[in-house]
Structures are given as structure tokens and as C-alpha cells.
Structure 1
């Protein structure tokens, strides 16, 4: 008799199931075990993990909101099709918008009114990172960057940022898995706040360039390796 195929996922205990399933699915996507376009079968995953379909469905919804999965009527969830070139262009556009948003925020004198809010988002990111709650950390990270764009006062920047929101969330989820220290990633947002508080537009631009540029290099490079058919590289240390 043929042996049963090796399951993709281990069985889980019944605490915080949807969050844990979402994290495991994220790791499977980023490592290339689940590939762009693959169907994420609720029944198959539930059977492999020894859980009901309900927490798997909820995990799918969480990852849909994070931009990693898409749902199709009467067909369920699928891994979002995204490649290295897509990611590179997302980061390039983010750099254009967020670099100039940071500079504009300084120029219009909006920094004092937003610093407390940015620190609150930073605290949320750090807290969620400590607890291993990746989905919530992604949401807090997105809101941090959105605040910079929103408070810059350029409505066109904000409209484009909001259009990109699901793709930004997806790329943020990838950052959490490519780098080896999500907690440190959260703290690195402090560099942006510090640069904004200098009151120097060039300092603000440089901080955003560095912050997004490092992520761009790592995530896009990671996906180029996967697309070449090589195993996923180990997580990178955070600079």
C-alpha cells in the first residue's frame, strides 16, 4: 500500500486557532510551499491540522484583509498572484509617495500634531510583535505609514496610498517573514519619527528612503530567489 502523503501542516491545539493558522499559512506562502494561484482548501487544511473548518475560514479572511489571499465566489481562497516585479513596483511607488509625504509633513508644520499618534502605532506594533500577532502588527504598521501620508495634507498621495493598501499589507506581511526580528522591525519605525522631529525635510526623506529601501531590497530579492526555483533563504538580520 502507498503511504499517505506527508501533510503540509501539523495538527494544532485549540487555542488562538485562527491567528496561529493565519501565521502558518503566511509562512507557507512566503517560503514557497503555497505558490501564487494555489487554492487554499479549507477542508484539506482543517483535516491536516485536526481542527474544524471555521478557524481555517477565519484565518483565510484575516489573510485576505492582509492582501495575501483572494477569495472567489463559490470557490474559496487562493494565494494571491504576486511576483518580484510586482513587489518592486509597489515599493518604488511607495517610495515616491511616502518620501515626499514625510518631507511635506515637515514643510507644512504637521509633525507636532502627529508624533503622539505615530508613537501609539509604534507601541501597538511592538506589542503585537512581542505577542506574535502578525496580522495585527501588519495593520498597525500600515496605519503608521498612512498617518504620515494623511497628515502631510496631500489628498492625492492619500488616495493612491489607500488604493495600494492591500498590496502594501501584503508586502508588509512578507517583510515580517523575510527578516529575522519583527520586534526590531517595529522599533525601526522610531527612526522615521526621529527624522521628522528634526524639522529637516531632507532628513525626513532620507529616513523614509532607508526604511522602505531596506525592505524593498530584502523582499524583492527573496522573491527573485524563489522564482528562480531555489529554496527560500534564511531570514536576514535587521540592520
Structure 2
């Protein structure tokens, strides 16, 4: 399955900043609305200002960051109405993408099984940022089975834009075994070629996100009993 990215390949220094800042956002270290202190991140990653700024521009183009003139870069923050709009767009496009899919081969099913195992392993080892990135790859890898490629690309963009809130609504570390089990159920549904059940499982997190509630100044999907596999 392909990595979750809609940008051109970056140089090594820029790629280092991209992965480090993305991990900080996915882990919750950087919260929605928080400013990116350029000198702090240049020191932390050991890179000069040009590749740092290039990385921040890439993240801004992806929708993870916003840039204010004479203010700097900030983690994208959305109010409840904006989050509802984002998840409404996701729901419409994801439903359309799942109207038909090309069923995965045995090799693709095995790859999805491996990703599910990796998510559980990283959750157990205290790396929720990696687990959350892999969780996105797992879901988007399934959407990529749709022949409606333009719609799938827009689904990816919307997943990126909502990534900053994933750490607030998804706790893969609370019960890694249960998280992994639920993902393996999705693989079993794919293996059985049960499209109605697949739609139900994949769209459930997006439906919860659409009916999100404001918590602590942020917007979080409701449904605490199933948050571990929310998107």
C-alpha cells in the first residue's frame, strides 16, 4: 500500500523535518493551533532554515499547517462547523469510492494483515505516532482498491487535513490487542468480498467524526467505546 502523501519527493533534510513534525502532530505533541517555532525545530532536527521552511511549506500545502503573514506557521485548527464540513466531504467521497472496488489479491491481503500487526506492535511499544500513520495507510490502502482514482486522491487530502485531530480521537495504545483485532476483521471482510459490511466498517469512523463534539477547545469524534479505530 502506498504512503499517505500528495506532495513531491523532498530532499533528505526536508524529509527529516517532514517526518519529525508529522510525528509530533500525530502523537499530540503539537496541538491544533500551536505555533511551529522555527529555531526550535531547526535545532531539534539539525537542519538549516531553507529545508526547514521547505518542509513547512509542504505541510501547509497539505493542509496540516497554516501560515500567517508576519506570524509564522501554526498547526491547522478547525472549529466544530469546519470539522463537520471536512467530515461531511469525507463521508460523501468515501461512500462514492466504496460504490465499487477491485477485490485485493492474496498478496494485498497479506500486506494489510502485516500493517494491522505493525499497528498493534507500535501501539504496544509506545509509538502511537507511527501506529496512527499506519492506521491511515491501512484505511487509505483499502480506498485505493476503488477504480475511482480522482475521488480517492481527494479522500487522501481530507485524511491529511484531519490528521492533527487523530491523536485526540484515536487511542491505539489503550488496548492494542483490540485495535489489531478490529483491523483483522476488516481484512476478513475483504477476503469474504462482503461489500455492504466493508462499507459499514470503513464509514463508521467517518460518521462518528461528522457528529463530533467540542472538548477542551478542540473538536473530537464521539463514541469513546470505538475510538481506537476512528479515522
TM-score between the two structures when normalised by the length of structure 1? 0.61
Determine if contact 1:98/1:148 at 8 Å carries over to the other structure: no
2:9 is aligned to none
Q: Give the length in aligned residue pairs.
A: 195
| Inter-partner Cα distance in structure 1 for 2:70 and 2:45 | 16
Distance 1:42 1:119 in 2: 39
Partner-residue secondary structure (3-state), 2:73? strand
Output the CA distance in 2 between the equivalents of 1:161 and 1:56.
Answer: 30
Task: Kindly report which structure 2 residues correspond to 1:1-239, keeping only aligned pairs within 5 A, or say none.
Answer: 22=24, 26=28, 29=31, 36=33, 38-41=34-37, 54-55=43-44, 64=59, 68-70=64-66, 76-105=72-101, 108-110=102-104, 112=106, 114-176=108-170, 181=174, 183=176, 184-217=178-211, 220-221=212-213, 224-227=214-217, 236-238=224-226
Report what 2:15 is aligned to.
none
> Using a 3 Å threshold, how does the CA distance of structure 1 residues 101 and 170 change in structure 2: closer, same or farther?
same
Q: Deviations over 1:186-233 (max 9, x none)?
A: 54323322322232221111122324334544xx21xx24349xxx9x
| CA distance in 2 between partners of 1:76 and 1:41 (Å) | 8
Q: In 1, are the aligned partners of 2:97 and 2:148 still within 8 Å (CA)?
A: yes
Superposed CA RMSD in Å reads 4.1
Bigger Rg, which one: 1
Shift of 1:182: 6.3
**Cα separation, 1, equivalents of 2:192 and 2:71:** 52
Question: Which structure ranks higher in relative contact order (CA pairs < 8 Å, sequence separation ≥ 6)?
Answer: 2
